[in-house]
Amino acid sequence: MSGVDKASLALLIDALKKIGKSTDAAGLSSLFAQLAQIREYTDTLETVAGQIKAKSDLIGATNDSVNVASIFGKLAALQYGLNNDVIGNRLGNTGDAAALNGSIFSRLAYIIANIKGTTVSVASDVVQYSDATERSSPYSNGSTGTIVHKFIPFYSGEIRVVVDIRNQEGSASELYAVAGLWGSYTSQAVSDCDWTMPIGTTISPFGNNDPLLFSRQNSVYTTVVKTLVVKEKVPTYLVLKSRGSNAFIRNLSLRYTLVQGG
């Protein structure tokens, strides 16, 4: 190599070693190695930044609303509940009437009433069960009925049945309460219904001897309130029947209050 002395060549080789190659692993051995190390640091910083952002999103901001899924959002929801007595309404008061569907104190009172002494149900406006579903029963020469609700009463006594009822053409719509032999509460009985029948089951023939709870003739919904007397804790079925055209019910509720017997 003419024109290049050994000293210059040595400096050039040293410089090339310090520069290194683009494939050098991250480290301090060459310029490319240091660039690779900087690139790794940058990737690490981006990962950490993403983690910090995720944690920041989780924490949220002090002005987050109750609908934001953050810690501050949940604190806002808690504050909203306290300010608007939502929590207090769910908790209720120690004097709340015993009820299956109500405040925590209502449900506790219901459990206590079930444990202590002789308890009976008396008709009231305390809703223990409700179902807004519209259900129907077809007309078939007045010989069929359709199960629209079934339940097992926890207590003997009274249950107030409240329901909206109508008939497609204004004919008679009838609601029966079946429990035991033709609705009579006896220890041994035969029934048109049994627990294997789901709500919506059509029974035929039905209604010749079954106990009629009420009958109404109207083409628009009318609210009917009747009291069912419960003598025994046996499966009870509410059966809808039509005397002409289709019969319909909706907004069914069972209402009662538990009272301690003397």
Q: Produce one character per residue of 175-190: b if its CB has 16 or more CB atoms within 10 Å, e if not.
A: bbbbbbebbebeeeee
pLDDT at 113 over 80: no
Q: What is the mean pLDDT of residues 26-47?
A: 73
Q: Which residue has the higher pLDDT, 262 or 97?
A: 97
Question: Which of 10-19, 97-106, 225-234 is the most confident on average?
Answer: 225-234
What is the domain partition of the chain in residue ranges?
1-84, 85-116, 119-260
pLDDT of residue 49: 66
Please give the model's pTM, rounded to 2 decimal places: 0.56
pLDDT of residue 80: 65
Query: Percentage of the chain with pLDDT > 90?
Result: 23
Model confidence pLDDT, tens digit, residues 1-14: 455 566 666 666 66
Q: State the average pLDDT for the chain.
A: 77
Q: What is the mean pLDDT of residues 26-35?
A: 73
Model confidence pLDDT, tens digit, residues 168-214: 988 889 998 887 544 444 433 446 788 889 999 988 877 656 678 88
Give the end-to-end CA distance of the chain in Å, rounded to a whole number.
Answer: 122
pLDDT at 240 over 70: yes
pLDDT of residue 111: 67
Q: How far is residue 194 from each of residues 176, 178, 179, 235, measured CA to CA in Å?
A: 15, 10, 9, 8
Peptide bond into 235 cis (omega under 30): no
Dihedral angle, C-alpha 45, 49, 51, 53, nearest 10 °: 180
- Rounded Cα distance, 116 and 211, in Å: 33
Looking at domain 119-260, which CATH architecture does it have? Sandwich (2.60)
